[in-house]
Structure 1
Amino acid sequence: MSRLIILDRDGVINEDSDTFVKSADECIAIPGSIEAIARLSRAGYQIAVATNQSGIARRLFDEYALAGIHHTINDWVEEAGGIISGFFYCPHGPDDGCLCRKPLPGLIHRIATELEVSVIDAPFVGDSLRDLQAAKSAGCQPVLVLTGNGTATADAGLPDELCDTPVHADLASFVNTLLDSDSQ
């Protein structure tokens, strides 16, 4: 199994918002998520974040504000004793026709290239169907958490090709399960 773990951002690490997380001040960590990332890092996992950020295309915030959000999350994780290897984002809108917007696997391919790692069988933790679809199409192991949009995603039912996707209450629950299985 790969020692890489890919995380969606909004709804997995921090609270999601229907009006977008537009600044570091609006970024609120989901309880237990920062400590979970730090635990993964200390256990030898490399962490990458893959996130759609169409608020840039919609002109709700710019890449400078996005960098500030990512800097804040990174600081939280470092203070907890962990490291995030990189934040990878799609700045495009849903109708822009790019290759990096999830459910397409472009961000995951970028992670593989830039971090020089295999993404095959790497867990990809997300809260939406598009996260799971991107993970599956790139050869990752999709994992659904019920935070953010996760409950609505589970309630809508997963397509057959994703029916064996593990489901966890939140990122901390996934990390507990993973690290427990690692220690056996």
Structure 2
Amino acid sequence: MKNNTNVRKYKVLSPVYDLLMGNRMFRNARTKAFSLVDIKPNQQVLLVGVGTGEDLPLLPKHIEIVGIDLSDEMLEKARKKSDHAVLMHMNAESLAFENEKFDFVILNLILSVVENPQKALQEAVRVLSPTGSILVFDKFWDDNKKPGMMRRAINKITSAIGTDINRSFEEIMMGTSLKIKHQESSVLNGNYKIIVLKK
């Protein structure tokens, strides 16, 4: 997974992304994820890898929303789903924000995509307020197992399309001061996880 090739992949995927990831199953999973965090009026929320903006309609009113993505085509789709979110072209691994700026950082379906997920998570921690929370909804491989031959073969296909299905969240979180406050299995037989993190 390379960021420069991801830009090309998601340019191709942008016209059909909502058909693939905007179905009821994923919408329900996103809704469940947001139900686990208590976002209050006027708080600042950062959506890292906002994509086509599938999360935007699920957020409460009267909050400050910033969404970033590397794909201009995905951002253009997202702009049609919110009239008040600030959407910016930016790399998740090098956020152009001051330390401790956001009350919530949302990492939905991004840690399996970026070139360096550890760096993306570290950046999320840097811009998170001391009392803030990070919400993650993504696909991760079981930390206690090694991917079998079939899964490794499938991963070559999914990685070519734009997502790595064999990443370990335990490995991604190493070196941070984060604590898991909540974790549960989600769609596709638990291949997707919902995780809430605190400093």
- Give me the TM-score of the superposition, normalised by structure 1: 0.37
Structure number with higher helix proportion: 1
Structure number with higher strand proportion: 2
